Structure 1
Amino acid sequence: MDDAPDPLAVTLRPTAARPLLGVTVLLVEDSRYASEAMRLLCLRSGARLRRADCLRSAQRHLKTYRPTVAIIDLGLPDGEGVDLIEELATSVPRLPVILGFSGALEGEDAALAAGADGFLAKPLTRLAEFQQTLLAHLPEQARPGGPRSLPETVVEPDGLALQDDLAHVRSLLTDDDDPVARAYSAQFLQALAVSASDASLAEAARSLSQDGAPASITRVRMILDSRMRPRQAV
C-alpha cells in the first residue's frame, strides 16, 4: 500500500449536489441487499464504490489501491470485521476514513475500540445520514465548499438482491447440519432482517443463534422458503 496513489489527490471536486465526488469507497460486506443500498447512496453522492464480500477479497483490493473510505461490516464469512479495522487503523500510511458497519447494537463500541473513525448502523437508507457521516470524517479539502441543503432521499434496494441473500442462506442450511455454517447463517440473517425490517425473520435468526435446535433450523428454513416464493413464481 505504500506505493499506492494518495486517495485524497483527486481531480474531481465535490459539489453541494454531489458532495462525495472524488471519493472512493471500499465496502467490505457479504450481503448483496446491504451492498445494493450502499451502491445507491454512493451513486447519489458522487462517490465511486468497490465491494469486497469477505476479508480475503478486501485484502486483495487493498494490495492494488487505497480507497478514501473503508466501510467494514463486522460479521463476515471468513472472520471478524473488527480485525480488519484494527489492521487498517494501525497501517502506515493510514486510510483517511475507516468506518464500522453493523446492525448489532454493540457494533459501534466494538468498531471504535478497534480504531474506526466512526460507525454506520444498519439499515442505512437515508442519504443525508450517509453523506453527513462520511463528510464529518473527511479532511477539509475533500469536502464541498459553502452551504448545502440536506437531501431527504431514502434509497430502496432492489428486492432481487434480498432474494439472492435469502437463497444464499437457504443453501447453507442443508439437512446435514454444520455448526459453522449454522452460526454464520444466524449472524447473516440477523443483520439481513435488520436491513429488511423483517421482525419475524429476526426472531427466528435469534433462536437459531441461541440454541441451534432442529426446530429452530426448521423454522428458519420455512420462513426463507416463504420469502423466496414470489421470485420463484416469476
Structure 2
Amino acid sequence: MTRLLLVEDDSTLARALAITLRTRSYVVTVARDGGSALRDASSSRPDVIVLDLGLPDMDGVDVIRSLRTWTQTPIIVLSARDGQRDKVAALDAGADDYVAKPFGIEELLARLRAASRRAAPREDEPVVSAGDLVIDLAAARVRRAGLDVRLTPTEWHVLEVLVRRRGTLVARADLLREVWGPAYERQTNYLRVYLAQLRAKLEADPSRPTHLVTESGLGYRFEP
C-alpha cells in the first residue's frame, strides 16, 4: 500500500480526497498547513506527496523547496493557480507534476501512478551525521557532541545548502546566489565571514576543518 501525504487546507476537499484515495488502497495522512506538512513528511515518510500551493502559513513553493533539501519523494502539486508562472515556479522548486483545480479524480490517480513509477530508490534521511555533528535538515537543528548548537538564520542557510549537496563542491557564486540572491554573487567576503563562524561552532579545530572544507578559488564542500 502506498503512503500518501495530502497537504490541503480546504477541509471539505481534503476529506473527500482522503476517502477516495483510501478506497484505492492509499494510506493517507492529511496536513492542513505547510508546517504540519514538513513535520509529517519527516515522521511518516510518505511514498508520494500531493500538495496545494495556497496554504495558510506559508507558500506551497517554499514547502517544496524545504522538502527538496532532504527528500526526493515525488511531489504532485494540486492547485487552483493555473498560470504559467505558478507552474514554472513549482516545477523549478522541485515538484514532479502539476494538476490544476478543478480536476478529475481519474486524472489525479493516473498522475500518482506515473509519479510512483518514476520514483527512483532514494535515501531520504533528513538527519545527517558527521563525526560528533547531527544535522536535522527537516527540523533545522544542529547538535554537536549531544548539545544543541545555536545558529543564526543565515548560518543555517549556508550550512543547509552545503549539507544538502554533501560530498560535492558548491561554487562560491552558487552558494551566494542561493543564500543571499543573484545580486550578491560577487560578495565572496560574506562567505569567508560565515564559514569562519560556522567552523568556530561546528569544527573541533576551526583552523583545520574536516567537515566545512574550502576548495581554494572554487568554493566549499561539506564532508560527512
User: Normalised by the size of structure 1, how large is the TM-score?
Assistant: 0.46
Give the structure with the higher percent helix: 1
Give the structure with the higher percent strand: 2
> Larger radius of gyration, structure 1 or 2?
2
Which of structures 1 and 2 has the larger relative contact order (alpha carbons within 8 angstroms, sep 6+)? 1
